[in-house]
Amino acid sequence: MHVPKAVAEPVLTACALIIIILSNVASEVSFGPFLLVICAFGAWFLGNRFALLLSLFVASTQILNGHAPALEGSPLIMVLKFLSVLAVVLMLGVARAALELEWRYARVDQLTGALNRKAFFEAIESGGSRTGLTVLVYADVDGLKLINDQFGHDAGDRALGGLAHRIKSAIRKDDIFARIGGDEFAIILKVRDAHAAELVAKRLNDALNLDPLKGEVDIRCSLGVLVLPQGSKSIDAELKQADTLMYHAKKAQVGMMMAISIEGDMQAFAPPASSTSSDGQQRAAVRSARRATGLARSDDTPEGTLAA
> Catalytic residue positions?
183
Reduce the DSSP state of residue 141 to 3 states and report it: strand
Q: Report the sign of the C-alpha dihedral through residues 28, 33, 34, 36, in that order.
A: positive
**Packing angle of the helix pair 48-65, 5-25 (nearest 10 deg):** 20
Q: Give the integer Cα–Cα distance in Å for 112 and 187.
A: 14
Cβ(188)–Cβ(130) below 8 Å: no
Contacts of 124-128 spanning 24+ positions with Cβ under 8 A: 124/176, 124/188, 124/232, 124/235, 128/176, 128/188
Distance from first CA to last CA of the chain, Å, rounded? 41
The angle at the Cα of 192, spanning 186 to 139, to the nearest 5 degrees, equals: 15
Tell me, what amino acid is at 57? F
